Amino acid sequence: MMLHFTNARLIDPEAGTDTPGSLTVRDGLILSRDEKAPKGATLVDCGARCLAPGIVDLGVKIGEPGERHRESFGSAGQAAAAGGVTTIIARPDTHPAIDTPETLEFVTRRATESPVRIRHMAALTKGRDGREMTEIGFLRDAGAIAFTDVFRVSTEAKALTRAMAYARSLGALVVGHPQDPGLSAGASATSGKFASLRGIPAVSPMAERMGLERDLALVELTGVRYHADQITTAKSLPALARAKAAGLDVTAGTSIHHLTLNEFDVGDYRTFFKFTPPLRSEVDRLAMVAAVADGSIDIISSFHTPADEESKRLPFEDAASGAVALETFLPAAMRLYHAGHLDLPALFRAMALNPANRLGLPQGRLTPGAPADLILFDPDAPFLMDRFRLRSKSKNTPFDGARMEGKVLATYVAGTRVFQADA
């Protein structure tokens, strides 16, 4: 099958360009750019809309196994396709955790029902308990793309050192969650005037800095490839800069919610705005936006975390953390574009190219020979977000009722259209 996209606004994160042009796709791969339509190709008129690499979303929670009522591979895939996410990197914080080759093989088979690509991270330690490392070599052979205990931060430095050293010997990527577990235990907000006035248990931003400094010291000790999943405070940036300047193999990410929301959005204890880590001050938010713009933070992720109504309709400190974000990822990112903070190539560098590069995937670019994972979208199309129209099984989005801009018109995976917006 051959497709020729014409009259497109090509968003190229690799070249850093936003230019009019055309793109030819054959047999699931990008064949050429700005060439005449080959004979027999199906023409796709983009109507001067944006054509960009599909989003590679690092850190998506799917409820299989154990919480299929919150999200299944099928529903997550449908939501991802509608949101322009063509590759999901799924987290291992399931029930049970993905900590054995058998469990990994099970979820890999189940993931075939998704219309988008799904790769899996595996747990770094058994049961994500931080005490005994998993069979990293066997898990890599079974297809694990990275290793993480997600939000469970190990206090066993010796066990973590062994796991990192073994991962280093295999060339495996370790994904850490920078947070001091003692300071952050039981916290639901960032310490400051807002948390004090609301009486919400809070944690200092220094907890993130302390966790990051610990992890970076272990990275220096072991030489492991390391990715900090969520950097959310300005206090963490100097440590990150020092590590990169020292030549450590370190990258960092942040969530789209910490780039577009701040602690005041919680308002009157709105649990749909409860996250791990909690939302930060406006100063921290702007610092994160600037860090993405200058490359200090490499990756933006959705951190899609489905939760049912029973888990969210609780007192703020008891409610589940997280939000669904596969469908809201792109329109939320467009807030940064329309505010003038980031241009479209920079956004897609952080949302597609950089995560693909960090994971060794060929996606995230418009280069000939790359997989034809593409999204066609209108960055200016306005709409009113209605959470009950989301394709995820869970509806816990902080953007319910928000006026947003940016609509996905079509999504292609390996040159096959997996989503088409209603006319």
Q: Are 205 and 244 in contact (CB under 8 A)?
A: no
Q: Give this prediction's pTM.
A: 0.97
Residues 280 and 137 in one domain: yes
Would residue 138 count as lying in a domain? yes
Which pLDDT value is given to residue 352?
A: 98
Would residue 187 count as lying in a domain? yes
Phi/psi class of residue 264: alpha, beta or left (left: φ > 0; alpha: ψ in -120 to 50)?
alpha
Residues 383 and 265 in one domain: no
Would residue 299 count as lying in a domain? yes
State which H helix or E strand residue 56 sits in.
Answer: strand 55-60
Would residue 364 count as lying in a domain? no
- 165 pLDDT band, cuts 50/70/90, is very high
DSSP string, 137-151: HHHHHTT---EE-TT
State which H helix or E strand residue 341 sits in.
Answer: none
Residues 200 and 147 in one domain: yes
Residues 61 and 45 in one domain: no
End-to-end CA distance of the chain, in Å? 24
Would residue 169 count as lying in a domain? yes
- 423 pLDDT band, cuts 50/70/90, is low
Residues 268 and 394 in one domain: no
Tokens 């469908």 belong to which residue?
Answer: 327
Q: Is 154 exposed, middle or buried (0-12, 13-18, 19+ CB in 10 A)?
A: buried
Domain containing 121: what range? 55-359
User: Could you give the percent of the chain with pLDDT greater than 90?
Assistant: 99
251-278 pLDDT per residue, tens: 999 999 999 999 999 999 999 999 999 9
Give the whole-angstrom CA distance, residue 203 versus residue 205.
Answer: 7
Which pLDDT value is given to residue 422?
A: 86
Q: Are 111 and 140 in contact (CB under 8 A)?
A: no
Residues 297 and 379 in one domain: no
Would residue 366 count as lying in a domain? no
Would residue 127 count as lying in a domain? yes
What are 316's two structure tokens?
């703020």
Tokens 């990112």 belong to which residue?
Answer: 333
Residues 141 and 13 in one domain: no
Q: Are 326 and 392 in contact (CB under 8 A)?
A: yes
173-227 pLDDT per residue, tens: 999 999 999 999 999 999 999 999 999 999 999 999 999 999 999 999 999 999 9
The dihedral built from the CA positions of residue 11, 17, 23 and 29, taken in this order, carries a sign that is negative
Give the whole-angstrom CA distance, residue 376 versus residue 416.
Answer: 13
Nearest Cα to Cα of residue 319 among 357, 278, 281, 282? 278
Give the whole-angstrom CA distance, residue 147 versus residue 301.
Answer: 17
Q: Are 390 and 324 in contact (CB under 8 A)?
A: yes
Total number of domains constituting the chain: 2
**Arithmetic mean of pLDDT, 325-331:** 98
Give the whole-angstrom CA distance, residue 259 versus residue 262.
Answer: 8
380-389 pLDDT per residue, tens: 999 999 999 9
Sheet with 147-148, edge to edge strand ranges: 147-148, 173-176, 225-228, 250-255, 299-301
Residues 160 and 240 in one domain: yes
Residues 104 and 7 in one domain: no
Would residue 120 count as lying in a domain? yes
Residues 160 and 16 in one domain: no
Residues 218 and 266 in one domain: yes
Residues 155 and 220 in one domain: yes
Looking up residue 156, the CATH number of its domain turns out to be 3.20.20.140
Looking up residue 29, the CATH number of its domain turns out to be 2.30.40.10
CA R_g for the chain? 21
Say yes or no to pLDDT of 229 above 90: yes
Which pLDDT value is given to residue 413?
A: 98
